[in-house]
Structure 1
């Protein structure tokens, strides 16, 4: 499970780069019940950045997509006590730095990277802002997932970087191997994500490049999927039942950012 008691290597923040912030905020408001709180609603620039709230608590962030040629996507941030040291470790392990460590107005220190296979991720060193205020409940982040072309290499890279522990499980119907992730020295209850190897042609959203995506807990997967399609989004897979996990669907918002919605079975871990 994902908690807000963050430890090194655990997911602690998510945000989305959107080509149209008001439209994207409206979509997630309709689908997940989030409220958009702009950074400065009195200026055009301030209205392009802000946070998503659920019952007054922060569930993620949103900003204007400015990188030329980039697709709209969710970025997952993992907790670190030292963003500069993590950056050095990324480079030593064969990753690349997309955004060098930078301060965020005293809220924390962040950096963004690309792993050796091409998956993009980020880290957050907390300042005044520790991270998400909602997790592992309806409307909140409950799991993170990496689709990659080389699971063994990904496990080696992230294991070296964060000390992640992994457990492999065989998926039914010759579905392949799914590797579940737990932060270093943490019990299985703190398991927070998974790594799935897929062929390049299955990664159509990114043209074959590996990518991370978030999983959001919802009360009713089918009802949420109806809201996705009713508000201009689409469904890549599902809704379908995953034994021991719950009912889930892989969705894409109107700007092309993918995410998963999951109604977990009681006591389930993972997506």
Structure 2
């Protein structure tokens, strides 16, 4: 599959996302039909083809776009993972800022339809994408789109400085995201909506890749017990989570059968839901 496949669904609908705000999420997987079957069963998604053909699909909930799922080429030695894209005014300038700060640009910037895209990794290895151009009518916290994005990393404050410098967070300019520090987390808001949170404590050198710095995607659900039980029955694994005392919601981290991690959250708390943990026994 072309590297452009993971951003195909972001293109060309006449909507312009806020600078530095999340504008799409994708999953790159080894078995696209199996991934579609799993997420259809667990989250109720339906799928339509992306514009690059059968190797990429767009997940729909109530006929609205939620996420993209693409097929990894067998020759690609990369981990199956969910990845967010952030809107930028210039993918080339943003990529240059990423490189200047000691991080990595793995793909691009390259032209995708009427826009430009790139895939990068921050200084601790968390992978994310850039998108310059018009987007789908999609926003964090709206409908079945992700309730929030969460970066679990080694040093949240250092990561916040990096992302602020490359994405324009907290610049004070109109049409950009604001940043605050609350309860040992860095909170990113687009207006009143919390769109991302950065949390420290990820172990950069740990042998388990599931706890290395990465972006986690939180999908909203109403019946978390049913969702987690369905995920286990469909071949997924519910991972241990750490509850916090300041939220009345609950969350569960799920690993799909191909290794992709995502979080399901009930709609409680200020954007991120990190309250009562839900766990079901499942084979690893």
Query: Which range, TM-score by smaller chain?
Result: 0.7 to 0.9
Could you tell me the TM-score, scaled by structure 2's length?
0.79
Q: How many residues align?
A: 250
Whole-Å separation in 1 of the counterparts to 2:234 and 2:67 = 20
Aligned CA-pair RMSD: 2.5
The runs of 5 or more residues in structure 2 that have no matched partner are 1-14, 170-177, 274-284
> Offset at 1:236?
1.0
Could you tell me the TM-score, scaled by structure 1's length?
0.83
| Contact map agreement 1:75 1:122 (CA 8 A) in 2 | yes
> Offset at 1:245?
5.7
Range with bigger deviation, 24-33 or 198-207: 198-207
Whole-Å separation in 2 of the counterparts to 1:78 and 1:242 = 30
Whole-Å separation in 2 of the counterparts to 1:132 and 1:215 = 18
Whole-Å separation in 1 of the counterparts to 2:198 and 2:18 = 20
> Offset at 1:192?
1.0
The match for 2:216 is 213
The match for 2:116 is 109
Deviations 1:195-252 (A, max 9, x none): 1112427966526631111100111112111121111111113596763362111111
The runs of 5 or more residues in structure 1 that have no matched partner are 171-176
Deviations 1:149-191 (A, max 9, x none): 1223211101111232433333xxxxxx2222235xxx4x132
Deviations 1:83-108 (A, max 9, x none): 111111111222111111112233x3
Structure 1 residues 135 and 17: CA distance shift in structure 2, 3 A: same
Whole-Å separation in 2 of the counterparts to 1:61 and 1:203 = 29
**Partner SS, residue 152 of structure 1:** helix
Structure 1 residues 33 and 138: CA distance shift in structure 2, 3 A: farther
| Contact map agreement 1:180 1:270 (CA 8 A) in 2 | no
Whole-Å separation in 2 of the counterparts to 1:21 and 1:261 = 21
Structure 1 residues 79 and 216: CA distance shift in structure 2, 3 A: same
Whole-Å separation in 2 of the counterparts to 1:160 and 1:263 = 32
| Contact map agreement 1:241 1:247 (CA 8 A) in 2 | no
The match for 2:234 is 231
The match for 1:79 is 87
The match for 2:44 is 33
| Correspondence 1:60 to 2:60 | no
